[in-house]
A and B are shown apart, each in its own frame.
Chain A
Amino acid sequence: MSDKKLDFDFRERLNKISGGSHHNYCYQCGSCVAICPAARFNEDFNPRDILLKTLLGKKEELIGENSIIWKCTNCYSCYERCPQDVRPIEVIIALKNICREDGVLPETVDKFSETISQTGRSVVVNPTVNRRRSSLGLPELQNVPVDDIKKMLE
């Protein structure tokens, strides 16, 4: 009965990622579901279920660019509620980090992040931006030290 076997390798891998190891504390109470806005607005989303799949090591159902984990709104309500300090959102983020390691990050996430790594800002500054700023009497925006970022991340 291979489908009943737990994938401990996957869980070991998750344990090593910052925020990932707290998945071990989940006792499936469902408190996170009651407060979760993503669950309220999308019946396929359920943080308790994501944790269960994680505990069972069901990697294929969690890791991928179209995985349900990307529907999490990052609201931190589950972190607030969980009686076990699972910090479910941080587990979801650790799962997302695994998506990156496995090369299955959604394009929007990758592109947006790349703008930050390459320019130091999440929104690109163009001449229109500075025109709008000066119309308000605000100084032009200077370049940010993106070389520092590149050095640290290399």
Chain B
Amino acid sequence: MAEKIRVTPFWGCMIPVKYPQMELSVRKTMEPIGVELVDLEGFTCCPDPIYFKARDKIEWLTIAARNLCIAEEAGLDIITMCSGCTSTLLEVRFLLAEDQELKDKVNEKLKKVGKEYKGKVKVKHIVVMMRDDLGIERVKASVKRPLTGINVGIHYGCHLLKPSQIMGIDDADYPSILENLIQAIGANPLTHTEKLLCCGKGCIDDEMPIDMTYEIFASMEEANVDCMGLICPTCFNSFDMGQIIIARKKEREFKMPVIYYCQMLGLAQGLKPEEVGLHMHRIKIDKIMEMISKPKKVNVAV
């Protein structure tokens, strides 16, 4: 039996509060592939890398550093389930390593709550942990019902990859991590023109985010995608709820199921849609379930 991986999950705000189905899917799928999730007490919002950072960067750095300290004290590395949390925690880690003066300033504030940031803790998005620590083969080995024939339109989102100087995860222009993970569960990652376009969520404008998500849907539709696969709750909001808004504002219904990667993994591991909370999505995934349950003559992935 391969060695177990022990990490602390940093859930952030969006997942546990708005999209608990994603938390459920992570809790259900990680155990069978050898990941032990050690929940720690005391984490707060990462905090948010868009508005909160725009208001006061030093406050942003300080709160993030406090979160990092909690894992550091417990001697555990962090896995993140949200690209926003990944962005904040990795960037703060980078900035505090790059700039000693800044680190001193932040530690001065941390002292008030009896903490000191040393810079030892590592942070990885869950998909990176799967690729680098667990290995794609172990993900593959957990599959009982490969999602054969399902064309997944990947949406990378911005904050997993960029800036690559900080994230160090993949090539920002030609990434492959999600393609490989989608293949591991038997599905077919389809490329489409707007695969790397931003969902627009961070932009303060009434029109632009809608125009941007619209382009992404149009591009996926053209590529004959069956469902959209992503790894970030904020992007999910833009695309699941976003389709309701697009239908209202642009009078166009895409009816594109949007699925978080660990929910997809759960389905491939044989879990029912409700067991990974797929019944909670605005855009129904029935079409995908029909495709999965159709009897197929395929070799089960080993």
**B159 interface neighbour in A42, A76, A100, A120, Cβ under 8 Å:** A76
A19 near B55 with CB under 8 A, answer: no
Closest residue of B by beta carbon distance from A19: B57
- Cα separation A148 to B45 with both chains bound (whole Å): 12
B51 near A38 with CB under 8 A, answer: no
Task: Report A125 CB to chain B, min CB distance, Å.
Answer: 6
- Cα separation A103 to B61 with both chains bound (whole Å): 21
Interface-lining segment among A4-12, A23-31, A47-55, A133-141:
A133-141
B44 near A120 with CB under 8 A, answer: yes
B202 near A75 with CB under 8 A, answer: yes
**B55 interface neighbour in A70, A72, A96, A121, Cβ under 8 Å:** A96
**B208 interface neighbour in A42, A94, A106, A149, Cβ under 8 Å:** A42
**B54 interface neighbour in A79, A93, A138, A142, Cβ under 8 Å:** A93
- Cα separation A148 to B18 with both chains bound (whole Å): 24
Which chain A positions have C-beta within 8 A of B63? 116, 149, 152-153
Chain B residues within 8 Å of chain A by Cβ, number: 60
**B50 interface neighbour in A74, A100, A120, Cβ under 8 Å:** A74
- Asked if A61 is an interface residue, CB under 8 A from chain B, the answer is no
Closest residue of A by beta carbon distance from B110: A152
Task: Report B85 CB to chain A, min CB distance, Å.
Answer: 11
Taken residue by residue from 45 to 71, chain B's Cβ proximity to chain A (1 for < 8 Å, 0 otherwise) reads as 101111111111111011100100000
How many contacts A-B (CB < 8 Å)?
Answer: 167
- Asked if B164 is an interface residue, CB under 8 A from chain A, the answer is yes
- Asked if B294 is an interface residue, CB under 8 A from chain A, the answer is no
Which chain A positions have C-beta within 8 A of B18? 123, 129
Given contacts A76-B163, A116-B48, A138-B23, A121 and B17 within 8 Å (CB-CB) = yes
Which chain B positions have C-beta within 8 A of A75? 158, 162, 198, 202
- Asked if B95 is an interface residue, CB under 8 A from chain A, the answer is yes
- Asked if B248 is an interface residue, CB under 8 A from chain A, the answer is no
- Asked if B285 is an interface residue, CB under 8 A from chain A, the answer is no
A18 near B102 with CB under 8 A, answer: yes
Which chain A positions have C-beta within 8 A of B201? 73
Given contacts A37-B197, A120-B45, A121-B45, A73 and B203 within 8 Å (CB-CB) = yes
B112 near A80 with CB under 8 A, answer: no
Taken residue by residue from 56 to 91, chain A's Cβ proximity to chain B (1 for < 8 Å, 0 otherwise) reads as 000000000000001111111101100000010000
Which chain A positions have C-beta within 8 A of B17? 121, 123-125, 129, 141
B208 near A108 with CB under 8 A, answer: no
A97 near B54 with CB under 8 A, answer: yes
Which chain B positions have C-beta within 8 A of A154? 112
- Cα separation A125 to B99 with both chains bound (whole Å): 36
B162 near A80 with CB under 8 A, answer: yes
- Asked if B211 is an interface residue, CB under 8 A from chain A, the answer is yes
Which chain A positions have C-beta within 8 A of B13? 121-123
- Asked if B1 is an interface residue, CB under 8 A from chain A, the answer is no
- Asked if A33 is an interface residue, CB under 8 A from chain B, the answer is no
**A18 interface neighbour in B42, B58, B277, Cβ under 8 Å:** B58
A93 near B53 with CB under 8 A, answer: yes
Closest residue of A by beta carbon distance from B55: A113
Given contacts A73-B200, A76-B158, A153-B62, A94 and B57 within 8 Å (CB-CB) = yes
**A72 interface neighbour in B41, B61, B202, Cβ under 8 Å:** B202
Which chain A positions have C-beta within 8 A of B165? 79
Closest residue of B by beta carbon distance from A106: B204
- Cα separation A133 to B23 with both chains bound (whole Å): 10
Which chain B positions have C-beta within 8 A of A132? 20, 280
Which chain A positions have C-beta within 8 A of B45? 116, 120-122, 144
Q: Contacts A18-B61, A77-B158, A113-B51 known; list 6 others, CB within 8 Å.
A: A42-B208, A70-B204, A108-B51, A116-B44, A121-B44, A145-B42
